[in-house]
């Protein structure tokens, strides 16, 4: 059994991920900011914790993470203003990484997006640019830490039913689409596979069972 904390526990991926981890025997804490969502989060089997990581400093986030074995970041500003995108997707994410180190939580899984990185190629006048910049900065910070990290970069997210099948860029995949349910299953598979530590994995839905696609 592992003790796993999901930051962004009421997000669409977080709500799908928690039941998978609970079914596998893990103890799950889900962090989210709106108290109105407590019952929905509790229904996943996770322990609901109301906290706004956008407004918390590193020390306060570390207090939330203490006692866990792994952190999953699947929070996001969800669009809106560039200022809030940078505040959540970059700054709060980076504080959570520093907080994990401070709390002694070694394992950290980041849900990013396919194509993130210093060469993301999104023009500065494109509305997606703040998100691309924020996620790329957060990924780079994580890769520079001593945490046991994995960066997951799914393609465009859909609400399709889970298939259990993906294709990674290492297999030749270009950016396409993947269901949120399969993203959640991929996070769960990564947490169960220590060989994914230090890996950046870009993926779509495809034809390979998730566990097999993650084999280095």
CATH number at residue 30: 3.40.50.720
Instruction: Say what the pLDDT of residue 215 is.
Output: 84
| Residue-wise pLDDT tens digits, 37-66 | 999 999 999 999 999 999 999 999 999 999
Report the pLDDT value the prediction gives residue 105, as an integer from 0 to 100.
98
Q: Which domain holds residue 117?
A: 3-213
Q: Does 216 score more than 80 pLDDT?
A: no
Residue 132: the pLDDT is 97
| pLDDT per residue as tens digits for the range 75-117 | 998 877 999 999 999 999 999 999 999 999 999 999 999 999 9
Count of the separate structural domains present in the chain: 1
How much is the CA Rg of the chain, to the nearest whole Å?
A: 16
Please tell me the predicted confidence (pLDDT) of residue 79.
77
Buried b (16+ CB within 10 A) or exposed e, 193-205: beebeebbbbbbb
Long-range contacts, stretch 57-61, CB < 8 angstroms, 24+ apart: 57/95, 58/95, 58/98, 58/99, 58/102, 59/99, 59/102, 61/95, 61/96, 61/99
Closest CA to 142 of 106, 167, 172, 168: 106
Per residue in 110-141, pLDDT (tens digit) is: 999 999 999 999 999 999 999 999 999 999 99
**How far is Cα of residue 80 from the mean position of the Cα atoms in its chain?**
19
End-to-end CA distance of the chain: 24
3-state per-residue secondary structure call for 44-105: CCCEEEECCCCCCCHHHHHHHHCCCCEEEECCCCCCCCHHHHHHHHHHHHHHHHHHHHHHCC
* pLDDT given at position 12: 97
What is the predicted pLDDT for the residue at 78? Answer: 84
Q: Give the mean pLDDT of the chain.
A: 97
Catalytic amino acids? 131
pLDDT of 148-190, one tens digit each? 999 999 999 999 999 999 999 999 999 899 999 999 999 999 9
């Amino acid at each position: 059994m592992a003790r796993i904390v999901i930051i962004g526990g009421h997000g669409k991926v977080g709500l799908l991920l928690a039941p998978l981890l609970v079914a596998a025997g893990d103890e799950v804490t889900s962090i989210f900011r709106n108290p109105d969502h407590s019952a929905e989060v509790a229904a996943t089997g996770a322990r609901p914790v109301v906290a706004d990581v956008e407004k918390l400093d590193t020390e306060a986030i570390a207090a939330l993470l203490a006692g866990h074995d792994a952190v999953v970041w699947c929070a996001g500003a969800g669009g809106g203003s560039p200022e809030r995108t940078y505040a959540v997707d970059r700054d709060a994410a980076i504080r959570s990484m520093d907080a994990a180190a401070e709390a002694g939580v070694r394992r950290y899984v980041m849900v990013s997006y396919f194509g993130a990185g210093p060469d993301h190629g999104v023009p500065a006048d494109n509305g997606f640019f703040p998100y691309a910049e924020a996620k790329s900065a957060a990924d780079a910070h994580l890769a520079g830490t001593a945490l046991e990290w994995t960066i997951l970069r799914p393609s465009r997210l859909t609400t399709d039913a889970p298939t259990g099948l993906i294709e990674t860029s290492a297999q030749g995949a270009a950016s396409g689409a993947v269901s949120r349910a399969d993203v959640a299953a991929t996070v769960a598979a990564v947490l169960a596979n220590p060989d994914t530590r230090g890996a950046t994995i870009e993926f779509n839905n495809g034809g390979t069972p998730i566990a097999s696609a993650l084999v280095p």
